[in-house]
């Protein structure tokens, strides 16, 4: 292949990694119609040039963290997350049982629910438990499991068994990225398993995610949600992405 074509391919790889957070050897090989060995050589060269950081099976954009801690994420786009949380709070009715996922935006919702009456909240999120521990009108049930310190949440078989024995009026989920085909992704397969179980057990499912999470695939663990779920995001959401997601049957709310 001519050197110019190779350079153009490597430049596009960098742009893709910057947009999605992570580039997979398999995905890049299919996208550019070249062998996996060619992509690995590209990634090795880009790493040597300081443009990407190699990972097992691919690369991430230079300076990207594999997964930001919850403490770091809480301070990002705070006002946007609070608007999303306030919209979500307005959907909750007295007497309901709701599932709160982990994540900074869902954590903001937990704070908004402190004045709720006759509400049951089921969660594996330490952030939600701390926010609601003094709320007199809220009964909090904790799922248990194995602690993921980076997200201040619990995952694993114990949490999964507990979820399978409950149903919910509403489930509010977080995510690290949303693809236009309606999939949501996380860093850990145990997280996506919990999201799928929660969604299957809820009458109404919401995914709370500010616009920076849209059209991103930073990790390789994916959850597929039942048809008819609702994305709650902000007005900065790309119009084309929103329309594509609506085309898959997802309801999109812009706060």
Kindly state whether residues 51 and 113 are assigned to the same domain: no
Strand partners, 204: 170
Structural domain including 25 reads: 3-61
- Total structural domains in the chain? 2
Are the C-beta atoms of residues 224 and 196 closer than 8 Å to each other? yes
Kindly state whether residues 46 and 140 are assigned to the same domain: no
Kindly state whether residues 146 and 236 are assigned to the same domain: yes
Q: Burial level of 235, CB count in 10 A (0-12/13-18/19+)?
A: exposed
Kindly state whether residues 81 and 134 are assigned to the same domain: yes
- Can you give the CATH number for the domain in which 41 is found? 1.10.10.10
Average pLDDT by stretches of 10, the chain with 255 residues? 78 71 70 87 80 59 47 57 95 98 92 96 94 94 90 91 96 92 84 94 96 82 90 94 93 96
Say what the pLDDT of residue 199 is. 96
Q: Give phi and psi for 213, each to the nearest 5.
A: -85, -10
Kindly state whether residues 81 and 154 are assigned to the same domain: yes
Q: Where is the domain boundary, 21, 43, 61?
A: 61
Kindly state whether residues 44 and 77 are assigned to the same domain: no
- Can you give the CATH number for the domain in which 163 is found? 3.40.50.1360
Q: Which two tokens stand for residue 234?
A: 């902000």
Say what the pLDDT of residue 64 is. 47
pTM: 0.72
């Amino acid at each position: 292949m001519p050197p110019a074509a190779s350079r153009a391919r490597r430049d596009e790889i960098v742009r893709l990694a910057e947009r999605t957070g992570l580039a997979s050897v398999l995905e890049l090989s299919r996208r550019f119609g070249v062998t996996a060995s060619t992509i690995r050589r590209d990634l090795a060269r880009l790493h040597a040039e300081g443009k990407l950081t190699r990972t097992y099976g691919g690369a991430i954009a230079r300076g990207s963290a594999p997964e930001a801690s919850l403490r770091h994420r809480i301070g990002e786009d705070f006002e946007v997350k609070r608007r999303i949380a306030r919209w979500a709070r307005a959907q909750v009715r007295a007497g309901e049982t709701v599932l709160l996922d982990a994540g900074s935006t869902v954590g903001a919702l937990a704070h908004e629910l402190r004045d709720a009456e006759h509400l049951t909240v089921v969660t594996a999120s330490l952030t939600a438990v701390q926010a609601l521990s003094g709320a007199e009108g809220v009964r909090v049930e904790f799922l248990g499991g194995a602690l993921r310190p980076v997200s201040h949440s619990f995952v694993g078989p114990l949490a999964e068994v507990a979820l399978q024995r409950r149903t919910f009026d509403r489930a509010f989920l977080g995510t690290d990225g949303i693809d236009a085909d309606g999939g949501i992704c996380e860093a850990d397969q145990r997280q996506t398993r919990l999201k799928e179980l929660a969604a299957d057990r809820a009458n109404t499912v919401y995914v709370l995610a500010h616009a920076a999470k849209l059209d991103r695939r930073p990790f390789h663990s994916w959850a597929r949600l039942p048809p008819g779920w609702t994305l709650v995001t902000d007005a900065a959401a790309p119009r084309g992405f929103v329309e594509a997601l609506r085309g898959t049957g997802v309801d999109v709310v812009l706060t």
